[in-house]
Amino acid sequence: MVDTESQDIETATTTLQSAPDAKTRRYDRQLRLWAATGQAALELSRILVLSSDATSTSILKNLVLPGIGHFTILDDARVSPADAGNNFFLEGPRSIGKSRAEEAVRLLLEMNDGVQGVADTRSFDSIMDTDKDWFSSFTLIISHNLHPTRLDKLSNLLSSNSSAPPLIIVRSSAFLAEFFIQFHEHTIIESHSETAPSLRIDKPFPALLQHALSLDYEKMDSTEHGHTPYVYILVKAMEGWKKSHGGNPPKTTDERKEFKKGILALQRNIDEENFEEAEAQAYRCWAETKVPSEIAQLFNDPALEPAAHAQSRQPFFHLLAALKRFTEEVEPHTLPLTSTLPDMKADTTSYIHLQRLYKARAEEEKAIFQTFLDKNVDIDEDVIDLFLKNAHGLQVLRGRRWGEFERDTDAFSGALASYPKETCIHLALSALANLTVKQPGVAPTAEALRGEVLAIVGQGTELPDALDEAIGELERAPAAELPNTAALLGGLVAQEAIKMITKQYVPIKGYAVIDLIDTTTATLG
């Protein structure tokens, strides 16, 4: 079998690879996930974390290890005995009384000498009063259990500026938690879609068709016959079928079964896996190659409207506009071909030849695609290549401001019906936050929490029994920050932060609610 995931076979078989450098060795595993482009984005990032409590440092740990460029902890608190007992990035009793931010930064930096970190011991309120623009200097902001009044101020500040960084809001109490990503617009080229790009077997380009039809199975020896790539087998078989069926592909179930039997009948030996692959991939012959519906929807995006497009300097939307024109004006009216091929049974010679055919055609279509690009916008060649390679998985996400979910009656009612337990956890955490403002320093009671929930949803709303369970957990330990909850949140939030920073993979949209009592998660809104 031929592995073609990271590079084409011709490169893999003809180029001597030099020994990896120290950075490649250090980040080897994650480079397999987000490649050099993702790593470069991480190393250029500047992260602001509002607090250095146990959860915040756990999140930072999972960002420092993969190599973010710089982080700042904004926290004016001193280490308390409670902090020393639950935060792994403090030195126990020896840290008590010291700046919590400075202690956390010092110990976090020991984990990766390629990362820079700063402790800022100013108060949040003083910065909001005198230096609001400072928050916009970061790539991403993360808050944990930030006081509701301050959170609202920050959320409003960032939502009012379309160029402001995303804000990840994390709330937790005992074994219950949630987080939410507030952002304006998030474009993704490398979504790592599980859907593979089309091989265009149903609409073969001229060079592929010509070569497939030139193959003569009778003149092949056993080795060559058993290693002919299934792409050739299918293209040749489909052309033969169309000649005897009025130019039509197999349409009915019986016709498709007959077509598959015809492919297997070409086997000389029962162990010829390439013909078995061709039979398994036969659906490609009658599955029409066209623009995926998700991509077609993007062509109607408001950002492509003439007025908005003329003002936009974002390369993504200029590339998307060019892609739209390509699919409208160039046969066969689908996405540009990519040279990326799946793994298949083939010998090296046959596979290299197949890859060269696809690569040559992909270069031809890339040249046509570039003629549709706005000449006044400078877009790097590597970005164009990356865009075309991943054109089948493009995504444009538009976020919501923190707190809008509760004001959307239909969405909220739907969540309460579909995810009653998780919605009750969200409500309970919101009630706890409200009581923090209304009754500072007073331990919440079940009655008070339920009253706040009803104030949010309305007095006449019928609530499930799961609300009592959530309220009971928050009443039991409203301010408890448990190490296992902090550890899980650290991994989950850091994972979503990396998606936002690298613009790879698809981040969670809505409230991610975590219940460590029943070990469940759900996304609301």
What is the chain's pLDDT, residue by residue, as a tens digit (525 residues)?
Answer: 444 444 454 554 444 455 677 778 888 889 889 999 999 999 999 999 999 999 999 999 999 999 999 999 999 999 999 999 999 999 999 999 999 999 999 999 999 999 999 999 999 999 999 999 999 999 999 999 999 999 999 999 999 999 999 999 999 999 999 999 999 999 999 999 998 899 999 999 999 999 999 999 999 999 999 999 999 999 999 999 999 999 999 999 999 999 999 999 999 999 999 999 999 999 999 999 999 999 999 999 999 998 877 777 789 999 999 999 999 999 999 999 999 999 999 999 999 999 999 999 999 999 999 999 988 889 999 999 999 999 999 999 999 999 888 888 788 888 888 899 999 999 999 999 999 999 998 999 999 999 999 998 888 788 889 999 999 999 998 888 999 999 999 999 999 999 999 999 999 999 999 999 999 999 998
**Which residues span the domain enclosing 459?**
404-476
Report helix, strand or coil for 511. Answer: strand
Whether 212 and 159 map to the same domain: the answer is no
Same domain, 323 and 361: yes
Token pair in block for residue 200? 């265009």
Instruction: Provide the 10 A C-beta neighbour count for residue 299.
Output: 15
pTM for the model stands at 0.91
- 523 has which bridge partners? 512
> What is the residue type of 156?
N
Q: Does some domain include residue 22?
A: no
Burial of 327 (0-12, 13-18, 19+ CB in 10 A): buried
- Split into its structural domains, the chain has a count of 4
Q: What's the rounded Cα separation, in Å, for the pair 456 and 440?
A: 19
The Cα 119–Cα 104 span in angstroms is: 8
Asked if the structure places residue 524 within a domain, the reply is no
Whole-angstrom distance, CA of residue 225 vs CA of residue 346 = 10
Q: Is the residue at 337 inside a domain?
A: yes
> 299 with 272, same domain?
no
Together in a domain, 43 and 154: yes
Asked if 256 contacts 284 with a C-beta cutoff of 8 angstroms, the reply is no
Shared domain for 388 and 329, answered yes or no, is: yes
Q: Confirm if 510 and 524 have CB atoms less than 8 A apart.
A: yes
Query: Which amino acid is it at 149?
Result: T
Same domain, residue pair 156 and 178? yes
**Quick one: how far is CA 487 from the chain centroid?**
21
Residue 176 maps to a domain: yes
Tell me how crowded residue 85 is: count the other CB atoms within 10 A of its CB. Answer: 14
- With contact defined as beta carbons under 8 Å apart, do 138 and 113 qualify? no
Per DSSP, the three-state class of 515 is strand
Do 36 and 184 fall into the same domain? yes
448: number of Cβ within 10 Å: 19
Say if CB 34 and CB 502 are below 8 A apart: yes
End of a domain among 265, 286, 307?
Answer: 286
Distance in angstroms (rounded) separating the CA atoms of residues 310 and 118:
40
Query: Is 425 inside a domain boundary?
Result: yes
